[in-house]
Amino acid sequence: MSFKASVQHFQTLVTSFHPVVIIDTVEEERVQGLISAACRDMQMAVFEWSIAQGLMRSPNSPDNRWQNEYAPPGARRGQALPKTAEPIDMLRHIQEMNFKAIFWLKDFAPHLKDAVIARQFREVAEQFSHNRSTLVISGSGNTLPAEIAHDAVYFDIKLPEPEELYEAVSDVVRVLKGRVKVELSPEDIHVLVKALQGMTLSQTRKVIAYAALHDGKLNADDVKRVLERKARVIHEEGLLDYFPAETNLAQLGGFEGLKRWLGYAKVGFTPQARQYNLPAPKGILIVGIQGCGKSLAAKTIARQWQLPLLKLDAGRLYNKYVGESDKNFRRAVTMAETMAPCILWIDEIEKSMGQSSGEADGGLSRRLFGYFLTWLQEKSQEIFVVATANDLSAIPPELLRKGRFDEIFFVDLPEADERRDILHIHLDRRQQGLQNFSLEELVVATDGFSGAEIEQAVITAHYRALYENRPADTTLVIEEIKRTVPLSITRREDIQRLRTLAQERFVAVR
């Protein structure tokens, strides 16, 4: 949703007698911008409240004539009304005011745990439901008592659009004028703004200022710094991991069937496909044996399509507080939507949305699964979902029916030619000439091994070679292979059962 559309949506809520609007965000700058833009058109007064300052007419209120004469020169800071710092006093003061206004209450939700404050708040909300005034509560993790939540509507502020990010970059350039040299072409600016998508305005200003002041220049080379900082910011959010397309070096041995399908699917994102009313690909589900390249396939898809990769870790969604896990999932997909086009990788999807009894988690897995199915079916952004799963029995049958994903692939243990490719990749990655290795002997020795088991045998052989101060060779690798008991032996029955199911239902990646 664009900023203009957000303003119109907010205005509609106010004019349709919604007395309480909840905005779950820490970006107060954007809340202020939203309310100011909405009230300018509606010619409504705006008041702000915080426990530190009390109630004051907003500096950006259309009719603000009250200024603090003691504020620093150039500052537009309102004069707080007397005796309004305490929540109960502020609410009583608001109740006595007899004109339409927006009252923005910052970090107010925790105060509603007090029974007296909650009662007074309900009385104000009831009054506002008749006169088109509105209480706006902002803050992070707003949790309201049930009797108040009944009258409230949640307003979702999306992460900044490209136009807002461009303005933020322009603001930084203006502030730093004379201190840094700007060397950006229109194409460079487009790439830079695209790299900033998924960050808040505050984060954008900080990372641009740092990149510019680091060497006194703002140029195309700073895109890399922005991407590095962006990866850290997204990781710190705790829900997603971010792998920029520029740093994705994944290589996948075999999987020719999957690679061929991806070549076909990629055209679904082109204007020509839209011309023929072809929908963009939704995503794929990859099931199979552990260690056989499902996760690597997700990274390879992102690399092949030159798109950023976002990894959703199921374990990070869950929160001990009621409603927070659902909110975490919505935050994660919102961030993915902001960064589209991208790849969203949901690792081990059966752990977050698998089948479980209602008593085990209060029905949380089923709710998340319902949200996911609805979002997957209705999303309009170019987000290609790659879901991976190990335990087929834990996947809800609704997820496996045709149409949920564009295709479901099964990953089996690698065959001889695939093992040859895997060995070649890992030996080459360790900067070893192939003259010391007999690939044919190694291919035979690794029969029944997964890709991960082959990689670990190569790594361990090189550890030993370094320890013994000798070059790694075929003999060392085969010795490590013989020490390994692969999954094909330790879990023979499970693998055979999985193969039987997959042959009937899924497409092989080969």
In a domain? residue 495: no
- Same domain for 262 and 360, yes or no, is yes
- Is the alpha carbon torsion for 159, 164, 170, 175 positive or negative? negative
Label the pairing between strands 240-243 and 283-288.
unpaired
Task: Judge whether 244 lies within some domain.
Answer: no
The domain total for the chain is 4
CA distance 249 to 254: 16
DSSP 434: G
Evaluate whether 409 touches 286 at the Cβ level (below 8 Å). yes
Residue 250 lies in a domain: no
Question: What pTM was computed for the model?
Answer: 0.70
Q: Is residue 64 part of a domain?
A: yes
Give CA–CA dist 356/286, Å, rounded.
Answer: 21
> Based on the domain organization, do 319 and 350 belong to the same domain?
yes
Whether 54 and 125 share a structural domain: yes
CB 22 within 8 A of CB 155: yes
What confidence score (pLDDT) does residue 90 get?
Answer: 96
Say which amino acid occupies 268. G
* pLDDT at 315 (0 to 100): 67
Whether 507 is covered by a domain: the verdict is no
Integer CA distances (angstroms), 385 to 137, 167, 380, in order? 34, 31, 13
Q: Is residue 312 part of a domain?
A: yes
Considering the domain architecture, whether residues 112 and 7 belong to the same structural domain is answered as yes
Between vectors from CA 222 to CA 216 and to CA 223, what angle results, nearest 5°? 160
Q: Does residue 403 sit in the same domain as residue 277? A: yes
> Which amino acid is present at 245?
A
pLDDT (tens digit, 9 = 90+) per residue, 132-166? 899 999 998 788 888 898 889 999 887 888 888 99
Q: Is residue 229 located within the same domain as residue 300?
A: no
Mean pLDDT for the chain overall:
84
Q: With pLDDT > 70 as the criterion, what percentage of the chain qualifies?
A: 90
Q: Do 141 and 12 fall within a single domain?
A: yes
pLDDT in tens, 175-206: 888 888 888 888 888 888 888 888 888 889 98
Tell whether 177 and 151 lie within a shared domain.
no
Which of 211-215, 265-269, 327-331, 464-468 bottoms out in mean pLDDT, i.e. has the lowest?
327-331
Count, residues in the chain: 510
The token duo for 474 is 């075929």
Strand partners, 398: none
436 exposure class (CB count in 10 Å sphere: 0-12, 13-18, 19+):
middle
CATH number of the domain within which 67 lies: 3.40.50.300
Q: Which residue range(s) make up the domain with 204?
A: 162-237
Q: How confident is the model at residue 72 (pLDDT cuts 50, 70, 90)?
A: very low
Do residues 20 and 139 both lie within one domain? yes
